[in-house]
Amino acid sequence: MTEEFFEKLLNFGSDWKVERIDFNEKNEVDIFLKWNLEEYKKSNKTTYEFVHDYRDYRRWRHLDILQFKTFINAKIPRIKTKDGTIESVKIPWASQGNRHTYLFEILIIDWLLATKNQTKTAQMLRCDFNLVNRIIHTASQRGIERREKNTVYEQLSLDEKAFQKGHSYVTILSNPLTGNVIDLVKDRTKKACKLLLDNALSGFQKSKVETISLDMWKAFNTTVDQVLPKAKKVHDRFHLITYLNEAIDKVRRREVKKNEALVNSRYSFLKNTSNLTKNQYFKFEEVLRLNTQVGYVWGLKESFKSLFGCKNYQEAFSRFSDWNSFVMWEAIPELTKVATMFSNHIKGVCNALVESASNAMAERLNGKIQIIKTIGRGYRKFENFRSAILFFNGGLNLYPHS
């Protein structure tokens, strides 16, 4: 009666019957299965010749029964087929080479998606950390292989993310419309960027890319010109404003040495005025009343922000040229340097003033990736970092038997 009950619970088909159930002192349940030769012969009449031999007992981790860790045990038969080959019978509860069942793998994936923590998942499910880590690799690779090869990406984002301390980066290609990471590669060189675009996109997909948002990193721009020559480059709004904010702070730090009124004014100029505290706003108003270069630079940053939303490229080019003339006339070296850089990337900057495409979604992805890094306490190997990012942020079909 007990064996019949577990057969219904397991539902592994008529080829496998529960032979016995054992308990041990480790609070483990072992369910032993026996292969039903007669049932197998009925469904494989055209290929079955005879049983060649049986492998030794193998043990697979399964879903727990109450507080007991549960394992499936079976001897896998090898069959001689009518064409003369010898092959192992396929089992319905696990993939070849694994020592856990499909259902246990699904449970691990569900826990990982809920906790984003490999260590905690392994602890809660009472399994080895290496198993959880291996499933992240397997599931993410499986998800990539299941992606539609002809998916059209009209918009793309190319961004960088610090991988380890120092100057260690990864380059991330993402879909700004869905917020999913398409793929990533170690480093941010031209070679790495080209490898990423070539591996992640087919020739058909490359031909369909209309816009790609990116910053002014030379390796990114050069590679995009080579690999996606028809795509419109749009320099990210966030990065453009960041460059201007950096110029403001450099001017403030230079002037504060001679003007005490600028002390404690940093965040008054770097935050949006709507987000200032009462004290920051008073400091901001005080500095603006003074004849300081930091005030002029802040004003020119605000006037640059007003350029966003131009109707077309011609209007953007004209208005940017006017803005650039004011900057050059003021001749504040920190701001002049930024304006010169913008002029050297005039197409991407003017496209940013017209197009709504940006790396805003990529920046949000960076925040999610940082959470993964923090929970994982950093990643020493790029392969682990890549699989984790794709697992949690790739929008992949991760589950087995899907």
Domain locations in the chain as residue ranges: 1-99, 237-354
Kindly indicate the confidence band of residue 295, based on its pLDDT and cuts at 50, 70 and 90.
Answer: confident
Q: Does the pLDDT of residue 91 top 90, yes or no?
A: yes
Q: Does the pLDDT of residue 284 top 80, yes or no?
A: no
Q: Does the pLDDT of residue 186 top 90, yes or no?
A: yes
| Overall average pLDDT of the 212-241 stretch | 92
Cβ–Cβ < 8 Å for 341, 240: no
Q: Does the pLDDT of residue 164 top 80, yes or no?
A: no
Kindly indicate the confidence band of residue 287, based on its pLDDT and cuts at 50, 70 and 90.
Answer: low
Query: How does pLDDT run across 9-66, given as a tens digit for each residue?
Result: 888 888 999 999 999 888 899 999 999 988 888 888 888 888 888 889 999 999 999 8
Which residues in 237-261 are b (16+ Cβ under 10 Å) and which e? Answer: bbbbeebbbebbbbbbebbbeebee
Q: Which of 202, 272, 273, 239 is nearest to 341 (CA)?
A: 239
More confident residue, 75 or 165: 75
Contacts 24+ apart (CB under 8 A), 320-323: 320/346, 320/349, 320/350, 320/353
Q: Does the pLDDT of residue 271 top 70, yes or no?
A: no
Whole-number pLDDT of residue 273: 65
pTM: 0.84
